Amino acid sequence: MTLRVAMIGYGFMGSAHSVGWRQAPAMFSLPEKVEMAVVVGRNADAVARAAEQWGWAESATDWREVIARDDIDLVDIVTPGDSHAEIAIAALEAGKHVLCEKPLANSVAEAEAMAEAAARAAERGVVAMVGFTYRRVPAVTLLRDLIAQGTIGEVQQVRAAYRQDWLVDPQMPLAWRLQKEHAGSGALGDIGAHILDMTQFVTGQTVDAVTGVLDTIVKQRPLQATGSGLSGSAGEGYGEVTVDDVAIFTGRLSGGALASFEATRFATGRKNALSIEVSGTAGALRFDLEDLNALQFYDRTAPEELQGFAKILVTEPTHPYVSAWWPAGHLLGYEHGFSHQVVDLVTAIAEGTHPHPTFAEGLSVQRALAAVEESSANDSAWVRVAVSDPVSAY
Ligand code: SOE
């Protein structure tokens, strides 16, 4: 069988997903063939250029027309969050498998409707997955596996951060990510979603309550003359920034441990610094995206004279995903997670299983995001995260 893919959107995530769709079949023995059939965008000339450059057979400007086609099997949504729900629900109801970029939606209500549509579609053998690709960095999957094996004992504390600095310049234009109607929230949903999902993924626990504070440091920015995404030239006049620049919050995990989170676009000098450290009774594990081929491991059970954070180079063929790439010591990069995402999605479709993270897991992140917003609006009072369907359930 051939999975014919339509990608809706063609910004930064469109380029990263295109690399994944192209690289995965070249480097892994996938159980199904993949065809990069069509990429969809509003600007006909621009999306035709993207199709040409990234290797999509066709380009189109009407996503509704594309998801109605019988020769499309899977819809990959890489648009801003304000269109995730409409496109994903329509695609699922048309019987198409769906991969949807994070965060799942711009609101809990949208995420609930998407999760319900996915549950209905699952009864017809149609799958849906959320694009939290950092789970598929080999070192992060290894981190999850080691915790599940009890390597660091009982989890006692988690520290997670995602620090960027692309907004420190007040003249950075008012991109779509700074407008609530398009992005849903700012650093909280864009990068805070990643560390929330990663914390739930590596610990196997849910964030059940949060207390937090949101802050907008630069409240007005030059209107953007053209384009969208992370950058674009400044136009005439100024507009209101309607989302957070910084989100700092604490979560209580279902196993009882506290987790601290920082998501910011004002960490001057930090370009894309995601980190997570999990402390346990028998040791600790730490991952830094800026050193993404490594996992730091502290073993409290080792002889005292040998104790210290050791660097595991996660490039052995026995490490997750690595055997399809290069020999030990030849490193992977940011883009490889997008190929691993394709591998797991295509394999799940071929095997008739649910790929993770499911829309239900995406909904649990959305509910935690909303709880942080509610806490920040109520003097940072603790807010319980609405009970999600069990994270591993569909
Ligand atoms: C911008 O913050 C961004 O592109 C995020 O939207 C992505 O999810 C992250 O992987 C890199 O930074």
> SS3 of 29, please?
coil
Question: What would the mean pLDDT of 14-32 be, rounded to a whole number?
Answer: 98
Are 317 and 177 within one domain? yes
How far apart are alpha carbons 331 and 323 in whole angstroms?
Answer: 12
Please determine, for residue 394, whether its predicted confidence score (pLDDT) is greater than 90.
no
**Confidence at residue 233, expressed as pLDDT on a 0 to 100 scale:** 62
Are 105 and 155 within one domain? no
For ligand 1, whether the C-beta of 191 sits within 6 Å is yes
For ligand 1, whether the C-beta of 326 sits within 6 Å is no
Q: What is the pLDDT of residues 206-265, one digit of tens each?
A: 999 999 999 999 999 999 876 544 555 666 799 999 999 999 999 999 999 999 999 999
Domain-terminating residue out of 332, 351, 381: 332
**Rounded CA Rg of the chain:** 21
The amino acid that residue 258 corresponds to is L
How far apart are alpha carbons 334 and 219 in whole angstroms?
Answer: 31
Residue 36 domain flag: yes
**Confidence at residue 291, expressed as pLDDT on a 0 to 100 scale:** 98
Going from the Cα of 191 to the center of ligand 1, the distance in angstroms, rounded, reads: 6
Are 159 and 307 within one domain? yes
How far apart are alpha carbons 13 and 21 in whole angstroms?
Answer: 12
Residue 299 domain flag: yes
How far apart are alpha carbons 161 and 14 in whole angstroms?
Answer: 25
Are 206 and 276 within one domain? yes
Give the other-Cβ count within 10 Å of 305's Cβ: 6
Going from the Cα of 190 to the center of ligand 1, the distance in angstroms, rounded, reads: 6
Testing ligand 1's pocket by substitution, the residue of 135, 190, 196, 271 carrying the most ligand atoms inside 8 A of its CB is 190
For ligand 1, whether the C-beta of 12 sits within 6 Å is yes
Are 224 and 142 within one domain? yes
For ligand 1, whether the C-beta of 112 sits within 6 Å is no
Length of the chain: 394
Residue 108 domain flag: yes
Residue 181 domain flag: yes
Query: Between 100 and 176, where is the model more confident?
Result: 100
**Confidence at residue 9, expressed as pLDDT on a 0 to 100 scale:** 98
Testing ligand 1's pocket by substitution, the residue of 15, 19, 272, 341 carrying the most ligand atoms inside 8 A of its CB is 272
Going from the Cα of 201 to the center of ligand 1, the distance in angstroms, rounded, reads: 18
Q: What is the pLDDT of residues 268-293, one digit of tens each?
A: 999 999 999 999 999 999 999 999 99
pLDDT band of residue 166 (cuts 50, 70, 90) is very high
pLDDT band of residue 115 (cuts 50, 70, 90) is very high
> If you take atom 10 of ligand 1, which residue's CA is the nearest one?
191
Are 185 and 298 within one domain? yes
Q: What is the pLDDT of residues 46-81, one digit of tens each?
A: 999 999 999 999 999 999 999 999 999 999 999 999
Are 102 and 176 within one domain? no
Are 165 and 107 within one domain? no
* Domain count along the chain: 2
Going from the Cα of 230 to the center of ligand 1, the distance in angstroms, rounded, reads: 9
User: In the chain, pLDDT over 70 holds for what percent of residues?
Assistant: 96
Q: What angle do CA 361, 89, 117 make, to 5 degrees?
A: 55
Residue 176, domain CATH: 3.30.360.10
Token output for 356: 């993770």
Q: What is the pLDDT of residues 341-389, one digit of tens each?
A: 999 999 999 999 999 999 999 999 999 999 999 999 999 999 999 875 5
Strands (E), the chain: 2-8, 33-40, 58-60, 74-77, 97-101, 128-131, 155-163, 207-215, 220-224, 234-240, 246-253, 258-264, 273-280, 283-288, 294-299, 310-313, 383-384
Are 277 and 258 within one domain? yes
Domain-terminating residue out of 116, 131, 146: 131
For ligand 1, whether the C-beta of 190 sits within 6 Å is yes
Residue 359 domain flag: no
Residue 360 domain flag: no
Are 7 and 113 within one domain? yes
Residue 337 domain flag: no
Q: Do the beta carbons of residue 183 and residue 174 sit within 8 Å? A: no
Residue 28, domain CATH: 3.40.50.720
Give the chain's mean pLDDT: 95
Domain-terminating residue out of 281, 316, 332: 332
Closest CA to 212 of 371, 106, 362: 371
Token output for 115: 């999760």
170-174, 184-188, 207-211, 230-234: range with lowest mean pLDDT: 230-234
Q: Examine residue 103 and say whether the peptide bond preceding it is cis (omega within 30 degrees of 0).
A: yes
Going from the Cα of 351 to the center of ligand 1, the distance in angstroms, rounded, reads: 30
Q: Do the beta carbons of residue 266 and residue 112 sit within 8 Å? A: no
Are 43 and 164 within one domain? no
Q: Provide the residue range defining the domain that includes 45.
A: 2-131
Nearest-atom number in ligand 1 for the CA of 194 is 8
**Confidence at residue 224, expressed as pLDDT on a 0 to 100 scale:** 81
The amino acid that residue 230 corresponds to is L
Sign for the CA dihedral angle at 10, 14, 18, 19 comes to positive
Please determine, for residue 391, whether its predicted confidence score (pLDDT) is greater than 50.
no
pLDDT band of residue 392 (cuts 50, 70, 90) is very low
For ligand 1, whether the C-beta of 101 sits within 6 Å is no
> If you take atom 9 of ligand 1, which residue's CA is the nearest one?
191
Residue 191 domain flag: yes
Are 283 and 328 within one domain? yes
Contacts of 386 (CB under 8 A, 6+ apart): 108, 367, 371
Nearest-atom number in ligand 1 for the CA of 13 is 4
